Structure 1
């Protein structure tokens, strides 16, 4: 059987640091809604009810606060899944669904802000897109829920890129979804998750790779003479 090195998952954020950053970001967003309110470090800290040393622990300038909202949604996802009892027993489909719904719930907390900034430099100044890709890559290469041999496909960066773009498209759909409780988005996510899960966990990929490994190991078709194929299947 083939074995692939498991990439370490992103660490769970520190809850105290997350709470401090969220306080500051939410304070900045509230100040933006107040006419003539200054957006300075002192004003933000006063609004958040924290000392300036807390700000200095996480940020350098107030310009970082608005983009940081997007990064915090992904930290919130990692914290919640890390704290969910029994998450290690979730199937791939359940984990992917959790990713989408936790992410959308986090964005919902500042829906008006997201509607105003998602397609602007504010969001692009954050690491949100790369964070989404990393989260999806972690899911697609998790040996606990994705067969090792399937990772010959799910571990490829184009797969991560495509699913990242699909995720951004879902968020754009959600932003314009006027159905009650965003029912259209929920239906779309459910269908997408079921479709991706079926592809990712399809056992036919595993069986096909196992067959290929057997053929090469036994040199049934003389494929062992091909250098790339021989190296790929040279180890169990």
Structure 2
């Protein structure tokens, strides 16, 4: 799909949101009048009205991805800062359509889990965040598989649901939860302790069998190193 088609889809979706919030619903004729696009043009991008409304959620990620280029030094952000920025920005975006989000988030996104387009777009964005961050510990690569990014995306959905029901002043509990979760994720993937252990294992084993001279620990470290070497070969 071209960038122009994506922009057209977002425009149609946003116009549909305006009509829903002002009129309670919309027709293709109303959408055509609001956007200047013919019915055939609309149907070339969306198969039906339901698809137009459901596109609101993945469009949040697409719009956010476009915003990244406008954020100065975004690539220098830590993984916690990138995740928090995404979460807080989408909070603001959804607040503008809060009534629609409250009515549809559960059925259009939350219950679908990994099967929603929104979840898939988020998973791809989060994967980009992690795989382009040079501060990620080498050992974190053992857990940073597709299921890891899907898990982070699922946690985000839980945060949105929490945010929708948060009655604290200024949604402070939602912001605190976000800070704690993103901080924890950063601690896990930036922690170099296991990396250092792996380096120690390589040193002990490569220097004339030094590991064998360390009772118990030496046996364990040799076994651990050999197991990880085999896993790396298999991959």
> 2:108 matched to 1:115?
no
2-structure distance, mates of 1:55, 1:216:
65
Task: Return the TM-score normalized by structure 1.
Answer: 0.77
Structure 1 counterpart of 2:198, from 181, 199, 209: 209
> 2:185 matched to 1:162?
no
CA RMSD in angstroms, aligned pairs only: 3.1
How far has the Cα of 1:52 moved from its partner? 4.6
How far has the Cα of 1:151 moved from its partner? 1.9
How many matched pairs? 219
Going by fraction, where is helix more abundant, 1 or 2? 2
2-structure distance, mates of 1:36, 1:82:
35
Please name the residue that 2:85 is paired with: 98
Unaligned 5+ runs, structure 2: 213-218
Unaligned 5+ runs, structure 1: 1-12
Higher relative contact order (CA 8 A, sep 6+): 1
Deviations 1:117-157 (A, max 9, x none): 1111466474011222222233233342313332223x134
Structure 1 counterpart of 2:174, from 178, 185, 191: 185
Residues 149 and 206 in structure 1, CA contact (< 8 A), matched pair in contact too: yes
2-structure distance, mates of 1:36, 1:203:
53
Residues 96 and 193 in structure 1, CA contact (< 8 A), matched pair in contact too: yes
Pair member with larger Rg:
2
How far has the Cα of 1:18 moved from its partner? 4.5
Residues 217 and 233 in structure 1, CA contact (< 8 A), matched pair in contact too: no
Q: How does 1:44-193 map to 2 (within 5 A)?
A: 44-52=31-39, 55-56=42-43, 58-121=45-108, 124=112, 126-153=116-143, 155-193=144-182
